[in-house]
Every structure is written in C-alpha cells, then in structure tokens.
Amino acid sequence: MTGFDVVIPSARSASLGRLLRSLAEGHGPLPERLIVVGDRPDVPGLELPGVEVVRGEARGPAAARNAGWRAASAEWVAFLDDDVVVPSGWRAALARDLAELPARVAGSQGRIVVPLQPGRRPTDWERNVRGLEDARWATADMAYRRSALEAVGGFDERFRRAYREDAEIGLRLTDAGYEIRRGSRHVLHPAGRARPSASLRLQAGNADDALMRALHGRDWRERAGAPRGRLPVHLLTTSAGLGGLFAAALGRRRLAAAAGAAWLAGVSELAWARIAPGPRDAREIATMAWTSALMPPVAILQRLRGELRTRRLRRSGADPERPAAVLFDRDGTLVEDVPYNGDPAAVRPVAGAREALDRLRSEGVRLAVVSNQSGVGRGLVSPGQVDAVNERVDELLGPLGPWLVCPHAPDERCDCRKPAPGLVLRAARELGVRPDECVVVGDIGSDIEAARAAGARAILVPTPRTRPGEVRDAPVVARDLGQAVELALTGRAS
C-alpha cells in the first residue's frame, strides 16, 4: 500500500476543525502524518490530538505548503485546503488513486464539488467558487510525490495569495516531463458567504497573472488551462471612462459624451453578464451594479501593480531573468570536504549553507547537486555509502532536488566527470531548464570548466584546496556560499 501524509495550510480554525472531523470520521488507510501549517504564527485552536503543527510566517499558501511538505516524510503528500470537507470514503479513494502510479506521474488531483443551495440560481460569488470544479491542478485536493516537489524546488513563494501558485507549479512539473493525473476521489468545497466587495478583492489576481506571463511566456494560459479573462475589455472600458473625464475637463462635450456612453456600455455589459445568471434579487443586482463600475479600473491597476513588481524583481535580479536553477558541487561547497567520505556522521555543512539554500527556495529557484565521486570507481566507497551521505546532506540542508553523481575513476574517460559537462547537462534536463539558465557553484576549477562546457554560468567559492590559478581564471568569485547565492540572484555582491 502506498503511504501518504496530509498537509493542510490554515489561517482559519473554524473551517479547519470541520475538515479534521471529516478526515477522522472517514474510512480507509490513515495518513502516516497529519500536518497543519498555521499560516499565521497566532492561528488559534491547532493544539489537536494526532495533528502535527508547523507554525507559518504569514507568507501565503505557497510558503505554507512548502513548510508542510518539507516536514512530511511519506512518498506522497496530499494537500487539502482548510475550507473543504472530505466525504467518508476519501481516504480509501486517495489510496486507490495513488496505488502503483508510475514514477513519471508527479501528482494526483481530486475532483472539487461545490454544493449550491437548491431552489435558486447561484450568486456571482458562488459561481466564482464553482469555477474550482473545472480548475486544472487545483491544490484544494492535490497529492504530489515528494521527490517531484524536491526536483522542482516546491511552490514558488513569490505567489503570496491563493491564486496561480497551483497552476505555476503544475506548469513547472509538466515542463520537467512529469504527468499530473485526475483521480477518482472528490472533496466538497462550500461556497460560504462573501462580502459585497469580494469581486473587487479578487482582481488582485491580475498582478499574479503578470508574474505568470513573465515566468512562463505568453501561452501560459493555454498550457495551464486557465480562461482568458476580461482584462482587454476592462482596459477599453477604463480608457473610455478616463477619456471622457479628460474631454470634459477640456470642454469637449461631444467627445466627453461619446466616451461616457462607451464607458456606460462597457459597465452595463459587465453588470448584465454577472446579473443574468444569478438570483436577480435587489441586493444582488445592486452589488453587481456598483462593483461592475469599479471592477475595470481596479483590474487594470492590479495588472499595472503586477507589471511594476515584475520589473522591480528584474532589476533586483530576483525575477524570471534570474537563474532558473542553481547546481552545487557537494564536497567543499555545501559540506566540509572529507576525502572519499562514506560516513553520514562525518557530514558537516559549511557555514551559512542552510540559509543560502533557503533563500533560493524562497525565490522559487530550482536546485540540484552535481558531484564527482571517484571513490566509487577507485573501490574506496560503495554507491550505497555515497547515497547515505547524500541523504544526510538532504536531512541537514533540506531537499536539494536531483543528485547527479559521477562514480567513475579519472582514467575511465566518461563524459560525466567534471570538468566534462555531462552532470550539468543531465541536471538541466531533469529540472526542465536550459543549461544557459543554470548557475554552477563549486570550489575548484573543474566545477567552473564543467559549467563553461555546458553553457552555464559559474561561481567559484574558494577553499584552502583551491589553486591560485583557479581563482584567477574564474569568471566570478564569492567569499562564501551566501555571497555566491547573492551573486547568482542579483549579479551583485552583498
């Protein structure tokens, strides 16, 4: 039977309690671990039996999910939103969905069912929530393989709201060659109540769309199955309104009247598109009228905010033009160099390694390790010992993505032993990025030469065993691992 952990990011104790009760009352195999990530340090009501609590830092659901799966240990991590309810057979259905999935399948998505009140048409808010039923890769009920999350670096924590962070990781996983399949299970997602201004607050998603386009190109919507939205129409409506005001200020009455009529037509069309399928009671009609007048400029302002934020990120280096992946040498770079080490107990991270790696993870940069281990070819250590040491490095420094190891002795003339480019090229392929989008960080000249041969950038972090000529010939030299990460992200030393 395939084991799984359950991770629930939560900022609300009331709906969380309902979900936990529905999980406990069901049948089927229990999760190996049930982890709740409090998305605020002060979320109350989390001291519950059988629940492990990870305290979050209010940095949004992407960061909370990362904290959850990194604390998990099972092969599969099932994510649930705290406002869903699982039916009694959910655990058994999840186990069936995960059973014997091939390694290329990174995720299993459950169906989302939004129950609506019978006897009346759904409100605008309820129709919005019901859109989750057709959403691709929605994380309200999604199980991901831990190794796949490690390979792509987890969720991109620049997405600070519950919007697009699930589509973004789905694109990275599928671009890396993984599959995400739909399972047979389902959860219930009650629509709940919303404030009249809820539709205006939702327009903040336009800022995330700007980041999605910068990260994944113009065709990201088609690849992620996301609807086009109304932004072009909002732009026309907003332009007409502003043009009318400007014309009126200049005394151009006819032009102002024409622009005003165009604005009114745009707002009326939007309002009717939202009113027609709804209950059409007085309260709903009034809400749709005034929010439809404000929605176009709010949407445009949010998109502009997203574009400006993306440009600021680009100037700082923490943007889509930053490296897609950073590949690290192991010995002397991430951990102290112990020649031909086969003992996990001898692993000692270099100073600041965890902090440097966590910064890359928080920026959504993918990680991998490219390491020569000629001790295997020389008969000094076994492959199992190398794997055990690598696992210890992961335990101490957090998941590092794929490990690319050359086990050959120098005289075997392989194409993977650095300074040959084989490990760097394989790492790029496994991460789903181009070699020229990678930065290789190492402590000796062969690391730098492997990067150059593969077309990647290179940063040298010298140690006592680094030869002076290697330091002199390196394109970029950092004093320590923290500065190497700063240089990789921004091109500037801190």
Catalytic residues: 329, 331
Q: Are the C-beta atoms of residues 34 and 23 closer than 8 Å to each other?
A: yes
Looking at residue 4, its amino acid is F
Give the distance from CA 441 to its chain's centroid: 23
374 vs 389: CA distance, rounded Å: 14
Q: Are the C-beta atoms of residues 125 and 36 closer than 8 Å to each other?
A: no
Residues 6+ apart with CB under 8 A from 384: none
- The pairing of strands 438-442 and 325-328 is parallel
- Structure tokens, 432: 């789903």
Nearest to 223 by CA among 259, 268, 169: 169
DSSP string, 365-388: -EEEEEEE-HHHHTTSS-HHHHHH
Looking at residue 70, its amino acid is R
Looking at residue 304, its amino acid is L
- Structure tokens, 154: 């987890």
220 vs 213: CA distance, rounded Å: 6
Question: What is the H or E stretch that residue 429 is in?
Answer: helix 422-431
